[in-house]
Structures are given as C-alpha cells and as structure tokens.
Amino acid sequence: MKNIPSIERSTSQPRKLAALRQAQQDWSNSSDVLTRLTRRLSTTLSLETQLGILADELNDVVPFDSLHYRHRIARQDFVFATGLGGQHRSEYRLNLEGVHYGTLTLNRRQRFSEEELQGVETILGAAICPLRNACQYMAIEQAALTDALTGIPNKRALDDVLLRASQLSDRKHGDFSLVLCDLDHFKSVNDTHGHVVGDHLLQLAAECLERSLRTSDSVYRFGGEEFAVLLPHTADADARDVAERIRKAVGQIRVDCGEETLSVSTSCGVATHLAGESPEQWLARADDALYQAKRQGRNCTRVFAAIS
C-alpha cells in the first residue's frame, strides 16, 4: 500500500472540509424547485405532510385546481386531497423499482400543456423516493398496531383509540360505546380440534365482526378469543342492538371438521363512555358487563347500567 505523505493529507483535508461546508450551504440555500422540494421532503416521514409539501411545490410550477392521492397501505386506505374542481384530469401511478406507491391525480379547469405535464413528471420523479419511504414507514407503524393472525387492529391500537374517543366524548359531549365480545368455550375448541382449527375460527370471527359493523365502527382483537368493538355516536340502547347483531352473526359461523361441523357462540358486554371517565375505567365497565353475560349463561348480551 502506498503511503500518503502526511504533509499532503494536512493540506488537502481542510480544502475538502471547506468544500463540504460550501456544498451544504449551497444545498440549504438553493432556491431551485427540485432542491427545495427534496430538502423539504427530507424533514419528515409523515405521508400526509409530504403530500402537502408536494402539492405546495407542484402548484408553484404547474398550477392546478385540485390534487387527489390514494393508496392502500397494509389493510387501510389512505386518501389525501386538496383543492376543488377542474374537468381536465391528469393521473399518475407512482411506481419505483416495480412497486406501486399510490395514484396521484391533478384536475384543472384549463387543459394541461405537454410542457406542464413534463414538468409534473420531473417533480414526481424527484419526490418518489421520499414518498416511498413515507409509505414504508406507515406500513411499519400499521404492522405494530395489527394482529398478525386476524389482520385487524390489536390491543395497542385499541388503547390508542380509546384514549382519543374518551377525549372526544368529553369535549364534544358525544356518545361512544364499547362492546367486548368473548367466544364461548373457546379453550375446548383448541383442546378438541387443535390450534389450527382454533386459529381459523378466530379469523372467521374477525371477518364476521367487520361485516356486521358500519364503516365508522372499528373492531380490535383484545385478547386470545376476545374482541372489542368501538361504536362512535352510539348510546347504550343502540350499542346493545349492535352487540346482538354481532352475537347472532357469530352464531352462524360453521367450520367443517370432517366428522362434525363446528359452531361457536359469543357473549357480549356493553358500556357507554361516561363524562370524565378514563379509558381504563370505561374498559373495566365493559369487561364487567361481559363477565355478567358469562355468569348468566353465555351467548347473551349485557349492558353495564351506569348509576345516574
């Protein structure tokens, strides 16, 4: 290996460091749209924030009336929209290395020129890598909040949503109800038919619960064979009706086990959020109602009767 004289190193290193500092200053102070765009996008991994930045920078170069972005990440649809109207439309599928990262649509009252469309493509080319990183980050976040077996949100996600629902209920004075559903005698299913059948039954139950709910409702895997359902804008009487609908739907599940057909029932406990109540207190009341349903014969619904 050739030795570099120490005097050469000592004179070249300051020049390189100075050049690096100058390059950093040039990058930070550059006003051209592509450098500014990538600089701004690099400050966040929030997909919503990145799309806001992209819309801002893009509109400065190619004015538009509305921008719409949609993408399905994990099991959830992500939509971002800004602006209104425009009968002329230009749509772009955002792909990088063979992977799809959403569809972006621009609308405008005036037709886009070829030069403008080329400008849009240039800007999207500069934005695609940060957008990919934001999509991947969101997918990782969702995976941490998703039950691996059933594909629905898990207990951690439930904790987050109960806190938000409690705060919203107190602030807006709206009704939020919680339903806990527990599959009856589930341990005997695993003991008799094995965990493969038990896991399949849990997957069917999760699908059944999702089909029984409104789009505004949400279902979570709360424990081993226990599910939680959050019902916004729903008081206890209507929540009981939803729980009964869930209970009857789960009762229709059938699993062919060869020599016999397996069915299952569920017990439900309902509690509506009270003013000033913590998520833990709310959950405890729903759990108490579920315990009453189990004690009183299973395959039924009980509502926690709050004392006025």
Indicate which residues carry an active-site annotation. 225
Instruction: Report how far apart, in Å, the C-alpha atoms of 139 and of each of 15, 136, 222, 259 are.
Output: 43, 5, 21, 42
What is the rounded CA–CA span in Å between residue 58 and residue 52?
10
Decide the pairing of beta strands 301-303 and 266-272.
Answer: parallel
- Give the residue ranges of DSSP H helices in 71-214: 114-144, 155-172, 186-193, 195-211
In Å, what is the CA distance from 31 to each residue of 36, 51, 127, 130?
Answer: 6, 20, 16, 19
Output the six-digit token pair for 75.
């099991």
Task: Provide the token pair at 152.
Answer: 């629905």
- Which among 221, 226, 150, 219 is positioned nearest to 182, based on CA atoms? 226
Q: For residues 243 and 249, what is the distance between their CA atoms, to the nearest angstrom?
A: 10
